[in-house]
Amino acid sequence: MASFLSLSPPSLLSTSAPCLSPAKTPFLHPVDRNPTRKYHQRVQISKFPCSFLDLEPKSKPEPLDFDVPWFHPADGRRFDVIVIGAGPAGLRLAEQVSGHGIKVCCLDPSPLSMWPNNYGVWIDEFESLGLEDCLDKTWPMTCVFINDRKIKYLDRAYGRVSRKELKLKLLSNCAANGVKFHKAKVGKVEHEEFESSIACDDGTELKASLIVDASGFRSSFVEYDKPRNPGYQIAHGILAEVDQHPYDLDKMVLMDWRDSHLGNEPYLRASNSRLPTFMYAMPFDSNLVFLEETSLVSRPLLSYTEIKQRMVARLRQLGIRVRTVIEDEKCLIPMGGPLPRIPQSMIAIGGNSGIVHPSTGYTVAQTMAVAPVVAEAIAECLGSTRMIRGSHLYRRAWNALWPVEKRWCREFYNFGMETLLKLDLNGTRSFFDAFFELNPHLWQGFLSARLSYGELIMLGISLFGRASNPSRLDMLTKCPAPLVQMVGNIALETI
């Protein structure tokens, strides 16, 4: 749920804002450029297959048709900043840094390829960033199925990001600002006192005052001084044409924790009771829906095969018969764990920077919001007449990404993740039953990672007060170890 998931989610973000009521939310309908509309003419009336797993996706991602400014060796091989990666994080930072008149190169093996995962965001987040025109579908409300008897309706609008529109917007701004693009893989990175260099797999060598790694979770360029022990969010999603589905068209389903679909699957039901998964659903119309079976967080990683088995059982019980799979995706997001070593010569942003919300997997809106802050810090160094480079530049960029209080807050979110890892299905249901009864400022701020550390402490106290007795017992018995770890890590950050 790239967003919950990278749907941010392989994937629960900016300034404090009140809960948006539907009447105050102007973007409640799909825009005409919805790329899924063209598939409505291809509904198959023939016999249904045994399950959606038998169907091949009808849509294959194609590179964007956009004329970016390409790097040419004759123009010089030295830049102020080189950004590795043309994902959302890399393009957003390249856009923002180049907007300050700084010479930027973006390096990626396929700069124009479409991003593979869907992204879901809270609309107020994208509105505050001026990116609401990059949403291809919105819902005025969200809902959470706690169990078969209880549904919570959340008065907060939700949207699906148009990956094409967001990437085109970022590419257009980068091109207008003079960003050069180079199609290559990074072979080797070397850092000297005031300059770094990149050796590309095509033999090209580029140099810059600063290199930013935005190449994602699997990057090996960013260094850690603590063992990495993340939780994992894993999901299987499909955008599908269906005979029908039971979801309300004006409500996005944030979480469906029901397990009645596993009544005839004793093994799966027992496993789900220990390591629960939920359905994340975006209904576009009565015959088109995005469905994603999601493990919020697990350690070790929950089996991908079992995720799909649970999804098959759920769709069968809901009466959802898939006619056509338009897109499918495997979503895998490492969450939590330690931050990279701060500072270091390589700056990071995106999935490898620790910015993924440890308790929810959300990352896109947070990355869009923090990139201008990091870019400002870089511009204050490289855009000044003094040309501040080396260790002072690295320190300023890292501190802009992770100021001390933000590191404290992340420790709290890590605490939340470690607690969720210890909860079974009943404990998870009780947790979210109490969580969504909190003051909207608190639960919305938590999901959007915009609360101060003091507000997070207030959230914890309020959550304990609203929790059921069994949930309080869970907190008292399962939270002490993560709590001690959080306090110790904050003490180390403060020193």
CATH number (domain holding residue 308): 3.30.9
Q: What is the DSSP letter of 44?
A: -
| Residues 361 and 462 placed together within one structural domain of the fold | no
Among the candidates 349, 372, 403, a domain finishes at 403
User: Phi, psi (5° rounding) for residue 144?
Assistant: -130, 120
Residue 235 scores a pLDDT above 50: yes
Could you tell me the CATH number of the domain that includes residue 356? 3.50.50.60
| Residues 236 and 189 placed together within one structural domain of the fold | no
Residue 359 scores a pLDDT above 80: yes
Strand-pair partners of 212: 83, 347
| Residues 55 and 110 placed together within one structural domain of the fold | no
| Residues 382 and 351 placed together within one structural domain of the fold | yes
| Residues 182 and 305 placed together within one structural domain of the fold | no
Residue 157 scores a pLDDT above 90: yes
| Residues 396 and 409 placed together within one structural domain of the fold | no
Count CB-CB contacts under 10 A for residue 254. Answer: 26
Q: Which of 249, 291, 214 is nearest to 55 (CA)?
A: 291
Counting the structural domains of the chain, the total is 3
Q: Who has greater pLDDT, 61 or 287?
A: 287
Residue range 5-11: mean pLDDT, rounded = 40
| Residues 249 and 108 placed together within one structural domain of the fold | no
3-state helix, strand, coil in the chain (%, to 5): 35, 25, 40
Residue 293 scores a pLDDT above 90: yes
> Which residue shows structure tokens 């896109």?
364
Q: What is the pTM of this model?
A: 0.87
Q: Which of 84, 93, 172, 176 is nearest to 366 (CA)?
A: 93
Q: What is the mean pLDDT of the chain?
A: 89
Per-residue model confidence (pLDDT) at position 317 = 94
Exposure string (b/e) for 4-30, b if CB count within 10 Å is 16 or more? bbbbbbbbbbbeebeebeeeebebbeb
Per-residue model confidence (pLDDT) at position 33 = 42
On whether residue 255 sits in a domain, the answer given is yes
**Picking from 170-179, 287-296, 328-337, which range would have the lowest pLDDT averaged per residue?**
328-337
On whether residue 261 sits in a domain, the answer given is yes
- What domain range is 199 assigned to? 73-117+161-227+340-403
Among the candidates 403, 428, 452, a domain finishes at 403
Q: Return the H-helix or E-strand segment holding 205.
A: strand 205-213
| Residues 298 and 447 placed together within one structural domain of the fold | no
Among the candidates 335, 366, 394, a domain finishes at 335
Q: Are the beta carbons of 1 and 235 closer than 8 angstroms?
A: yes
Number of residues written out for the chain? 495
Q: Which of 248, 235, 273, 244 is nearest to 144 (CA)?
A: 248
Residue 176 scores a pLDDT above 60: yes
On whether residue 8 sits in a domain, the answer given is no
| Residues 234 and 270 placed together within one structural domain of the fold | yes
Taking CA atoms, 5 is separated from 8, 187, 230, 279, 391, in Å, by 3, 30, 16, 12, 35
Count CB-CB contacts under 10 A for residue 422. Answer: 15
